[in-house]
Structure 1
Amino acid sequence: MRTIPGICVLLTAAICGLVGGCNEPEKPSGANQITVNPGASPSVNGSNEDPSVALDKSPMDMSYYPVEYTKEKMIGRSSEPLVARVIYSRPKKDNRVIFGDVLKYGAPWRLGANEATEIEFFSNVSINNQAISKGRYVIYCLPYPDKWQIRLNTDLYTWGLKIDSAKDAYRFDVAVKKAPVTFERFTMEFEKAPKGMELHIAWDTLYASVPILY
């Protein structure tokens, strides 16, 4: 399993090939439409324009724990039950100062872009001595210079810019650390830990690790 430094090494090549944001402007209607058959003639599509211009610049991604669960399941070799999954979008740094500028300290951060980021636990877990019931939650954060307050919220299937804090189910603080490399793309990834697992959250020059016991 990979540590944050390990993740950084694996991501460096990809990061170098990338030249964005958590609170990016809302896209106009139709901005997420894609062309089903980009090779079709203009008479079918009605345009010669490159269909990729309509693709979202903050692509959606998904992380599992166990980390290789889906691949192991595909070949019939999974030995551990599925514990958690996070679904999130990956904005770019794009030459911006992220923390304290794009993301204001003490203000809600959706941990991604577009729709609210969601985490699902397939069994009961514990985070910072808090018992977390199995189920699906919106996960978001209030960043501060020395810590991030992570929140799990029950207001599912919503846009990420306005999360109803009255529906927060759990709140806990985690330490923020300096990353060994700059993360161009916002990243969330699970990793096995000596006890349980960790959810690493990284962007720009900072990261935090959420300890999860299961």
Structure 2
Amino acid sequence: MKKKLIIASLFLLTPFLKAQLTITPNGGNKKAMVGERIGLTDVAIHYDRPGLKGREGKILGTLIPYGFADLGFGTSKAAPWRAGANENTIIELSNDIKVDGKPLPAGKYGLFIAVGKEESIIIFSKNNAAWGSFFYDDKEDALRVTVK
């Protein structure tokens, strides 16, 4: 009877243990999603909301470096900002679209921004599963668009 009770207890606790082991660090940032249907295309963006945490006026150029930077971790020596906090920001498109007149096929993309003082580069990466931009590789870019 004791053995059956232990087995039943482990069976009941398994979902909770798994949930605890699969949680990624979030640094206190909240997960967010925004989506909209534009014409016939569903667009969804999943991101972690960065918290200012008393760093007002110190984000762009300091916490988020301008252009491409060596973040000191991972394989990328020239990484853009991951357009959010923690995990990659993901944009998902239900149909093929054009961005600034350039084609972008339907799919799921990692969204990065090489922030500049006057212009920034929006990057749609085929790698949408990376954690942050530590392993960013420009060979995986599906599209780059320069914006003001």
Common fold: TM-score over 0.5: yes
Of 101, 112, 119, the match for 2:62:
101
Listed one character per residue, the Cα deviations across residues 77-107 of structure 1 (whole Å, up to 9, x for unaligned) are xxx6452111100011122110111111112
Question: CA separation in 2, counterparts of 1:31 and 1:92?
Answer: 23
1:156 aligned partner, one-letter code = N
- Is 1:88 equivalent to 2:51 in the alignment? no
Contact kept in structure 1, 2:27 and 2:86, CA below 8 Å: no
TM-score between both structures, scaled by the size of structure 2: 0.69
Question: CA separation in 2, counterparts of 1:83 and 1:128?
Answer: 18
Aligned residues with identical type, % of pairs? 25
- Is 1:154 equivalent to 2:126 in the alignment? yes
Q: Where does the alignment leave 5 or more consecutive residues of structure 2 unmatched?
A: 1-19, 69-79
Of 109, 125, 131, the match for 2:103:
131
How far apart are residue 161 of structure 1 and its match? 3.0
Q: What SS does the aligned partner of 1:166 have? A: helix
Listed one character per residue, the Cα deviations across residues 105-132 of structure 1 (whole Å, up to 9, x for unaligned) are 1121001111111101101111111011
Listed one character per residue, the Cα deviations across residues 21-60 of structure 1 (whole Å, up to 9, x for unaligned) are xxxxxxxx96947xxxxxxxxxxxxxxxxxxxx8751111
TM-score between both structures, scaled by the size of structure 1: 0.49
Question: CA separation in 2, counterparts of 1:55 and 1:120?
Answer: 22
Q: Write out aligned runs for 1:59-98 (5 A).
A: 59-66=30-37, 81-96=40-55, 97-98=58-59
Of 119, 135, 155, the match for 2:91:
119
Q: What SS does the aligned partner of 1:83 have? A: strand
1:155 aligned partner, one-letter code = N
Q: What SS does the aligned partner of 1:139 have? A: strand
Question: CA separation in 1, counterparts of 2:85 and 2:109?
Answer: 16
Q: Indicate the residue corresponding to 1:172 in structure 2.
A: 145
How many residues were matched structurally? 115
Alignment CA distance shift 1:55-1:113 (3 Å): closer
Q: Indicate the residue corresponding to 1:14 in structure 2.
A: none
Q: Indicate the residue corresponding to 1:198 in structure 2.
A: none
Question: CA separation in 2, counterparts of 1:91 and 1:131?
Answer: 30
Question: CA separation in 1, counterparts of 2:144 and 2:126?
Answer: 12
Question: CA separation in 1, counterparts of 2:133 and 2:53?
Answer: 20
Larger Cα-atom Rg: 2
Q: What SS does the aligned partner of 2:61 have? A: coil
Q: Where does the alignment leave 5 or more consecutive residues of structure 1 unmatched?
A: 1-28, 34-53, 68-79, 176-214
